Amino acid sequence: MNKMISCFAVLTLAGMHVFAQTGEPATPVKTGNEWQMPKDVIVRSKKFSETLRQSLGLDSLTTRKVFDLYLGNTKTVDEIRVGAGSEKQKKDALAVNQLEFDEKVKSVLSPAQSETYARGRKAGRFKF
């Protein structure tokens, strides 16, 4: 009886690697009312805030505020992308969200930095 239990335990442990995930999803996953954050969100937020820091000469406090704004906006953007609706509806919703996000970013920047940010957005330098 002990040999049978031991064999079963060994086979179970040996077969567990079959059920393991091999990679992390890069896109948001929505199941029911849940939203699971993709693993690259922190990296994207950091890259965006660092780009603004270098381009606009932001201090560390403002850079952190921009990082938090971007990170907070990620869920909204990803929910629009994985949500139901036509591509046109999604595109329109993303455009409205982009305008709202730009206004939030401008609210933490100085007037000169806001103007430079607006010019950079039009030129395509500050993408998200």
Chain-centroid distance of CA 110 in Å reads 25
Three-state secondary structure call for residue 122: helix
pLDDT digits (tens, 9 = 90+) for 45-92: 999 999 999 999 999 999 999 999 999 998 888 888 888 889 999 999
HSE-CB of 52 using CA atoms within 13 angstroms:
34
Q: Using CA atoms, how far apart are residues 1 and 37, in angstroms rounded to an integer?
A: 46
pTM over 0.75: no
Q: What angle (nearest 5°) sits at the alpha carbon of residue 71, between those of residues 94 and 125?
A: 60
Q: Using CA atoms, how far apart are residues 120 and 105, in angstroms rounded to an integer?
A: 13
- The per-residue pLDDT for 31 is 57
- The per-residue pLDDT for 19 is 57
pLDDT digits (tens, 9 = 90+) for 6-54: 766 666 666 665 555 555 555 655 555 555 666 788 888 999 999 999 9
